[in-house]
Chains A and B, each alone.
Chain A
Amino acid sequence: MPMKVGDEPFNNRVGEGIQNTFMRSAVSGAQDRLEKNRQLAVEELSNWEEWRSLGEEIRQHVLANLDYYLTQLSDQVAARGGHVFFAASAEDARAYIANVAKEKQAKKIVKSKSMVTEEIDLNHYLEKHVGCSVVETDLGEYILQLDDDLPSHIVAPALHRKKEQVQESFQRHHQYEGSERPEELTKHARKMLRDDYLTADIGITGCNFAVAETGSVCIVTNEGNADLSTALPKTQITVMGMERLVPTFEELEVLVNMLTRSAVGQKLPSYVTVLSGPRQEGDVDGPEEFHLVIVDNGRSEILGSEFQSILQCIRCGACANICPVYRHVGGHSYGSIYSGPIGAVLSPLLGGYDEYKELPFASTLCGACTDVCPVKIPLHELLHKHRQTIVEKEGRAPISERFLMSIFGMGSSSSGMYKFGSKVASSALKPLTKGDHISKGVGPLKNWTDIREFPAPKKERFRDWFDNRQKGDH
Chain B
Amino acid sequence: MKISLFATCIVDMFQTNVGKATVELLEHLGCEVIFPNGQICCGQPAYNSGYVKDAKEAMKNMITAFDDAEYVVCPSGSCAYMFREYEKVFADDRQWAARAKRLAEKTYELTQFIVDVLGITDVGASFNGKVTYHMSCHMTRLLGVKSAPLTLLENVKGLTYTELPNKTTCCGFGGTFSVKMTPISEQMVDEKVQHIIETGAKYIVGADEGCLMNIRGRAERLGAHVQVLHIAEILNSRNAEVHV
A and B touch in the complex (CB under 8 A): yes
Indicate if the CB atoms of B9 and A412 lie closer than 8 Å: yes
Chain B: residues with CB nearer than 8 A to chain A? 7, 9, 11-16, 19-20, 23, 35, 37-38, 40-41, 43, 45-46, 48-55, 57-58, 60-61, 137-138, 141-142, 168-170, 172-175, 177-189, 191, 213-214, 216-218, 220-221
Bound-state Cα–Cα, A365 to B181, Å: 13
Query: In the complex, A366→B184 CA distance in Å?
Result: 14
Q: Is the CB of B41 within 8 A of A397?
A: no
Evaluate contact between B181 and A463: CB separation under 8 angstroms. no
Indicate whether A409 sits within 8 Å of B15 (C-beta atoms), given known contacts A368-B137, A387-B50: no
Determine the distance from Cα of A57 to Cα of B186 in the docked complex, in whole angstroms. 39
What is the total of A-B residue contacts with beta carbons within 8 Å? Answer: 195
**A102 contacts B by Cβ under 8 Å:** no
Q: What 8 A-B pairs come out closest when comparing CB atoms?
A: A364-B174, A452-B217, A387-B50, A409-B54, A391-B50, A462-B19, A413-B57, A366-B137
| Chief secondary structure at chain B's binding surface | helix
Contact partner of B58 (CB less than 8 A), chosen from A391, A413, A456, A460, is A413
Q: In the complex, which of the residues B19, B50, B54, B183 has the most CB atoms of chain A within 10 Å of its own CB atom? A: B50
Given contacts A325-B188, A362-B181, A371-B141, contact A409 B216 (CB under 8 A): no
Q: A452-B221, A461-B16, A466-B19 are in contact. Are A14 and B58 (CB under 8 A)?
A: no
Whole-angstrom distance between the Cβ of B167 and the nearest chain A Cβ: 12
| CB of A198 closer than 8 Å to a CB of B | no
Extra A-B contacts (20), CB below 8 Å, given A387-B48, A458-B14:
A361-B49, A361-B180, A362-B184, A364-B172, A368-B170, A384-B48, A397-B51, A408-B41, A409-B57, A410-B57, A412-B58, A444-B179, A447-B178, A448-B217, A452-B189, A458-B16, A460-B16, A465-B16, A465-B19, A469-B23
Q: Which chain A residues border B174 with CB–CB below 8 Å?
A: 363-366
A376 CA to B29 CA, complexed, in Å: 39
Contact A18 B58 (CB under 8 A): no
Instruction: Name the distance in Å between B25's Cβ and chain A's nearest Cβ.
Output: 14
Q: Do B13 and A425 touch across chains, with their CB atoms under 8 A apart?
A: yes
Closest A residue to B78 by CB, please name it: A365
Q: Are B137 and A462 in contact (CB under 8 A)?
A: no
Q: Known contacts A18-B183, A408-B46, A408-B54; is A463 also within 8 Å of B7 by CB?
A: yes
Residue-wise, chain A 3-29 has the 8 Å CB interface mask toward B (1 for contact) of: 000000001001100100000000000
> Which residues on A sit within 8 Å (CB–CB) of B45?
408
Asked if A453 contacts B220 (CB within 8 A), the reply is: yes
Nearest B-chain residue to A469, judged by Cβ: B23
Inter-chain CA distance A390–B142, complex, in Å, is 24
Known A-B contacts A368-B137, A368-B170; A447 and B54 likewise in contact (beta carbons under 8 Å): no
Tell me if A392 and B52 are in contact (CB < 8 A): yes
A365-B174, A452-B221 in contact; A462/B16 too (CB < 8 A)? Answer: yes
Check if B181 sits within 8 Å of A361, measured CB to CB: yes
The listed residue (B138, B175, B180, B221) touching A367 by CB distance below 8 A is B138
B220 interface neighbour in A368, A370, A437, A457, Cβ under 8 Å = A437
Task: Give Cα A361–Cα B184 distance, bound, in whole angstroms.
Answer: 11
Q: Are A388 and B141 in contact (CB under 8 A)?
A: no
19 A-B pairs whose Cβ atoms sit less than 8 Å apart in the complex: A18-B183, A325-B188, A364-B174, A365-B48, A366-B137, A366-B170, A366-B174, A371-B141, A386-B50, A390-B50, A392-B50, A409-B46, A409-B54, A425-B13, A437-B220, A447-B179, A455-B14, A456-B14, A462-B12
Those of A378-431 within 8 Å (CB) of chain B = 384, 386-392, 397, 401, 405-406, 408-415, 418, 422, 425
* Given A15-B183, A363-B174: A409 and B55 interface contact (C-beta under 8 Å): yes
Given the interface pairs A453-B216, A466-B35, the reply to whether A368 lies near B50 with Cβ below 8 Å is no
A386–B50 alpha-carbon span in the complex (Å): 8
Mark contacts of A342-384 with chain B using CB atoms, 8 A cut-off: 1 yes-contact digit, 0 otherwise: 0000000000000000000111111110110000000000001
Q: Chain A nearest CB: distance from B111 CB in Å?
A: 19
Q: How near does chain B come to A363, taking the closest CB pair, in angstroms?
A: 7
A415 to B58: give the CA distance in the assembly, Å: 10
- Residue A454 interfacial (CB < 8 Å): yes
- Min distance, Cβ B173 to any Cβ of chain A, angstroms: 7
Q: When the two chains form their complex, are residues B214 and A452 in contact, meaning their CB atoms are under 8 A apart?
A: yes
Confirm or deny: A301 has a beta carbon within 8 angstroms of a beta carbon on chain B: no
Contact status A367-B60, CB under 8 Å: no
Contact partners of A415 in chain B: CB under 8 A: 37-38, 40, 61
A392 to B53, CA, bound (A): 8
Q: Are B179 and A363 in contact (CB under 8 A)?
A: no
For B185, the chain A residues whose CB sits under 8 A away are 364, 451
List B contacts of A177 (CB < 8 A): none
- What is the CB-to-nearest-CB distance from B184 to chain A, in angstroms, rounded to a whole number? 6
Nearest to A417 among chain B residues (CB) is: B40
Is A329's beta carbon under 8 Å from chain B?
yes
A457-B61 in contact (CB<8A): no
A425 to B14, CA, bound (A): 10
